[in-house]
Amino acid sequence: MTRNLLDWPLIGPLLRRHALLEGLRAAVLLLFLSAIAFGFIYPKAEENPYTTALFWSLFWPFFLITTMVTLGPVFCMICPHSFIGRWLNRSGPQKLMPNWLRNRWWGLGLLVVSYWVPLYLWPGLLKNPLVTASYFLALTLLAWFMFYRYRNMDYCRYLCPIGSVTKAFSKVGFARLETDQSRCTSCRSFDCVKACQWKLRPYLFEQKNDMQDCTTCMDCAQACSAVRWDLVPPMTQLSHSGKLDRRMTVWVFLTLLIVITMTMRLHHALGHSALKEQLPWVQMGHWLAAHLPDFGGLDWVGFSALVTATAGTLALVFGGFWLAARFARVPFWQMFDHAGLALGPLMLIGALSHVGAFFFLHYAPDLQNAFYWLVGLPQTAEPWASFRHDPWLRAFNLFNVLAAIAALWVLVRQLKQLGLTGLRLTGATLLAGLVIWGYLALFALTLYARSLGHGGH
Domain boundaries, the chain: 11-161, 175-232, 246-451
Phi, psi (degrees; rounded to nearest 5) at 406: -65, -40
Are the C-beta atoms of 152 and 199 separated by less than 8 Å?
yes
Give the integer Cα–Cα distance in Å for 312 and 444: 17
Q: What is the pLDDT of residue 456?
A: 46
Q: What is the pLDDT of residue 4?
A: 96
Give the integer Cα–Cα distance in Å for 317 and 339: 9
Q: What is the pLDDT of residue 241?
A: 58
Are the C-beta atoms of 367 and 57 separated by less than 8 Å?
yes
Alpha-carbon separation of residue 385 from 270, 317, 362, 363 (angstroms): 20, 36, 9, 11
Q: Spell out where 204-322 has E strands.
A: 227-231
Phi, psi (degrees; rounded to nearest 5) at 176: -140, 135
Give the integer Cα–Cα distance in Å for 355 and 345: 15
Residues comprising the chain, all counted: 457
The residues that bridge with 317 in the sheet, in sequence order, are none
Q: What is the pLDDT of residue 454?
A: 56
- Other beta carbons within 10 angstroms of residue 422's beta carbon come to 7
The H-assigned helical ranges of 272-299 are 280-291
Q: Residue 374 in 3-state DSSP?
A: helix
Task: Say which amino acid occupies 374.
Answer: L
Return all residues near 411 (Cβ < 8 A) that are at least 6 apart. Answer: 339, 341, 342, 429, 432, 433, 436
Give the integer Cα–Cα distance in Å for 271 and 285: 11
Give the integer Cα–Cα distance in Å for 163 and 25: 17
Q: Are strands 175-179 and 227-231 parallel, antiparallel or unpaired?
A: antiparallel
What is the residue-wise DSSP string for 68-137?
HTTTSSHHHHT-HHHHHHHHHHHHS--BPPPGGG--THHHHHHHIIIIIHHHHHSTTGGGSHHHHHHHHH
Phi, psi (degrees; rounded to nearest 5) at 185: -65, -30
Long-range pairs for 53-56 at CB < 8 Å and ≥24 separation?
53/366, 53/367, 53/369, 53/370, 54/367, 54/370, 55/132, 55/136, 56/126, 56/127, 56/132, 56/366
Task: Say which amino acid occupies 372.
Answer: Y
Cα 394 from chain centre: 23
The secondary structure element, H or E, covering residue 176 is strand 175-179
Give the integer Cα–Cα distance in Å for 202 and 226: 10
Give the DSSP letter of residue 394.
G
Q: What is the pLDDT of residue 61?
A: 82
Give percent helix, percent strand, percent coil of the chain, each to the nearest 5.
70, 5, 25
Give the integer Cα–Cα distance in Å for 389 and 454: 11
Angle at 105 between CA 101 and CA 106, to 5 degrees: 50
pLDDT profile of the chain (457 residues), mean per 10 = 91 96 97 98 97 94 91 94 94 94 95 95 94 98 97 92 88 92 89 90 88 92 95 87 78 96 95 93 97 93 98 98 98 96 95 93 96 95 90 94 97 96 98 98 95 64
| Residue 292 CB-half CA count within 13 A | 15
Are the C-beta atoms of 140 and 155 separated by less than 8 Å?
no
Return all residues near 11 (Cβ < 8 A) that are at least 6 apart. Answer: 5
pTM for the model stands at 0.94
Q: What is the pLDDT of residue 243?
A: 62
Q: What is the pLDDT of residue 457?
A: 46
| Residue 260 CB-half CA count within 13 A | 25
The secondary structure element, H or E, covering residue 256 is helix 246-256
Q: What is the pLDDT of residue 164?
A: 81
